[in-house]
Amino acid sequence: MATFHIDDTRSLGTIAPEIYGHFSEHLGRCIYEGIFVKPDSGIPNVNGMRTDVVEALREIRVPVLRWPGGCFADEYHWKDGIGPKEQRKRMVNTHWGGVVEDNSFGTHEYFELCRQLGCKTYINGNVGSGTVQEMSEWVEYMTFDGVSPMAQLRAENGHKEPWRVDYFGVGNENWGCGGNMTPEYYANLYRRYQTYVRHYDHAAPIKKICGGPNVDDDNWTEKVLATCFASPHPEDGFHGFMDGLSLHYYVHPGGWRHKGSATVFTEEEWYTTLKKALYMEDLIRLHGGILDRYDPEKKIGLIVDEWGAWYDVEPGTNPGFLYQQNTMRDALVAAVTLNIFNNHCDRVKMACIAQMVNVLQSVLLTEGPAMVKTPTWHVFRMYREHQGAQALPVTAKDLPVVGGGLPAVQASASSGKSGAVTVTAANLSVTAPQPVHLELAAGRPAQVCGTLLTGEAHAHNTFDAPDAVAERPLEAAVRDGGVDFVLPPCSVASVQLV
Ligand code: AHR
């Protein structure tokens, strides 16, 4: 039996709710159709935001939403997306499918979406093809409360009050689609551009996110930090020109060129996928270790603002739309990744799954007026009690290995305001059930309840069978001073101990 010792007398730190964040790009059917529809489309909506989608997202408590890209961010010119819709510029979305972007979803629509979701805002600015002035004016447009050209323009467009920008990303993947820059070149541009991301609201300063590495590119991290932490006035208690450094990592089971199908895969591919998902922990250690040298007090967050599984697109769909199904395998990818983030919450301060609707590892899929919740949505729902809770150290004993060296069970734990302990655990085995025993350092729990998500490895929800994969109660018992339950193969559990 796998035993997990949970030290509920000690905290590893607060699990930032933003770790459960999302990403929505102007890509395929994520924004258009997936979230935003024409008010007279016949699909129930409030100011264009789909009611079914907003309700499902509120249920998983989306804490923050990154927009407008992605690669799209570095060719987005925000002034194209404001003002009367019929006059907005139409452009080609060169990165994603070469389709016409009519800019009907722009700054005002993004803030309306975040208002309906009740989430924090994360805007990604354009360094690759935009100017410093353009970025600076966008910040003024969104946040300045007073007399200024941009504040006046915002008022003319129907929003007198400024909005709150919680996070601002200065460029995206500038080592690649955001301009193919060297780290030294980007770092100097970052220093310059971020200067003009002004804190107009001093009570709520914008957190600035510097573009970080691709996967394991530690040279990028080293060079960018070396430049961005070099100060002419070190005596001023300077700690870098940033509040966060981004990291992007996608799981491609078959590699970048032949990623593999989302729904048709072998047992071997199941384990390869999970091994690659667990690699996130190595990446956090790698880049976190470099950050530790510059920022030992861990004030700078590692912001994993793109993560998830990326497969071949569904047959017959536009290759540039990145539409893929979502199975129990994806539930496991989400479960182990979120457990890793919880366990490293001292450094990981935000993470955004890519992407929210209809693109890559989505939590929701839509087809016309229909919507399905994917297995990944269920994992976010089951993990929601971790948001803002205290992460607890978890130690495993007698843990079997599966798939040639992976832990059979992987877990994280937290303690909420009420004192209840939430443990989330995933059984990585595709064939074997796993009995689990949880023990608490502070003593015997009085009560236990839990939720289970399980199914055959390829199980997924479709528009014809939307609840093929759904949560159900977990059978767990208080025994021997701890809690016992059995995890079926391919399963994720959320257990509350009181
Ligand atoms: O999420 C899809 C794309 O992946 C993003 O636009 C880009 O940042 C990354 O390469």
Question: Has residue 203 got a pLDDT over 90?
Answer: no
**Distance between CA atoms of residues 144 and 138, nearest Å:** 10
Q: Which residues contact 161 (CB under 8 A, 6 or more apart)?
A: 145
306 lines ligand 1 (CB under 6 A): yes
Place of tokens 């699909």: 43
Rounded-to-integer distance, Cα 110 and Cα 113, Å:
5
- What's this model's pTM, rounded to 2 decimal places? 0.97
Cβ of residue 305 lying under 6 Å from some atom of ligand 1:
no
Give the model confidence (pLDDT) of 327-365 as tens digits. 999 999 999 999 999 999 999 999 999 999 999 999 999
Instruction: Please indicate whether residue 74, judged by its CB atom, sits closer than 6 Å to ligand 1.
Output: no
Integer-rounded Cα radius of gyration of the chain: 22
- Residue 213 in 3-state DSSP? coil
Q: Which atom of ligand 1 is nearest to the CA of 96?
A: 6
Residue 117: partners with Cβ closer than 8 Å, 6 or more residues away: 54, 57, 58, 62, 65
pLDDT tens figures, 125-172? 999 999 999 999 999 999 999 999 999 999 999 999 999 999 999 999
Cα–Cα distance between 363 and 132 in angstroms, integer? Answer: 35
Residue 154 contacts residue 147 (beta carbons within 8 Å): no
What are the beta bridge partners of residue 451?
473, 494
Instruction: Output the pLDDT for position 484.
Output: 96
Predicted confidence at residue 445, as pLDDT, reads 82
pLDDT score, position 148: 97
Q: Is the pLDDT of residue 17 over 80?
A: yes
Per residue in 283-299, pLDDT (tens digit) is: 999 999 999 999 999 99
Tokens 């190595």 belong to which residue? 282
Q: Do 21 and 63 meet the contact criterion of CB atoms below 8 Å apart?
A: yes
Q: Tell me which amino acid residue 53 is.
A: V
Is residue 32 helix, strand or coil?
A: strand
> Separation of 304 CA from ligand 1 center, angstroms?
12
- Would the pLDDT of 238 be above 90? no
Q: Is residue 237 very low, low, confident or very high in pLDDT (cuts 50, 70, 90)?
A: low
Rounded distance from Cα 355 to ligand 1 centre (Å): 9
Count the Cβ atoms, other than its own, within 10 Å of residue 286: 17
Kindly report the protein residue whose alpha carbon is nearest to atom 3 of ligand 1: 70
Distance in angstroms (rounded) separating the CA atoms of residues 19 and 22: 9
The candidate with the shortest Cα–Cα distance to 314, out of 325, 299, 303, is: 325
Say whether pLDDT at 257 is over 90.
no
How remote is the CA of residue 258 from the centroid of ligand 1, in Å? 17
Residue with tokens 């070469």: 98
394-497 folds as Immunoglobulin-like (2.60.40)
Domain boundaries, the chain: 17-387, 394-497
Q: Token pair for residue 241?
A: 């020109």
Q: State the pLDDT at residue 492.
A: 98
Angle at 167 between CA 16 and CA 283, to 5 degrees: 55
Give the model's pLDDT for residue 193. 98
Residues 6+ apart with CB under 8 A from 383: 20, 335, 338, 424, 494
Q: What is the dihedral of CA 267, 268, 273, 279, to 10 degrees?
A: 130
Catalytic residues: 173, 306
Q: Is the pLDDT of residue 234 over 70?
A: no
What is the fold, at CATH topology level, of the domain defined by 17-387? TIM Barrel (3.20.20)
**What are the helix (H) ranges across 295-345?**
328-343
Structure token digits, residue 86 = 């019929």
Residues 95-116, mean pLDDT to the nearest whole number:
96
- Report helix angle 132-143 to 183-195, nearest 10: 40
pLDDT, tens only, 422-442: 999 999 999 999 999 999 998
According to DSSP, the β-strands at 370-373 and 45-46 are unpaired
Short-list 97, 27, 117, CA closest to 69:
27
User: End-to-end CA distance of the chain, in Å?
Assistant: 22
Q: Give, using CA atoms, the residue closest to atom 7 of ligand 1.
A: 70
Q: Cα of 248 to ligand 1 centre, how many Å?
A: 9
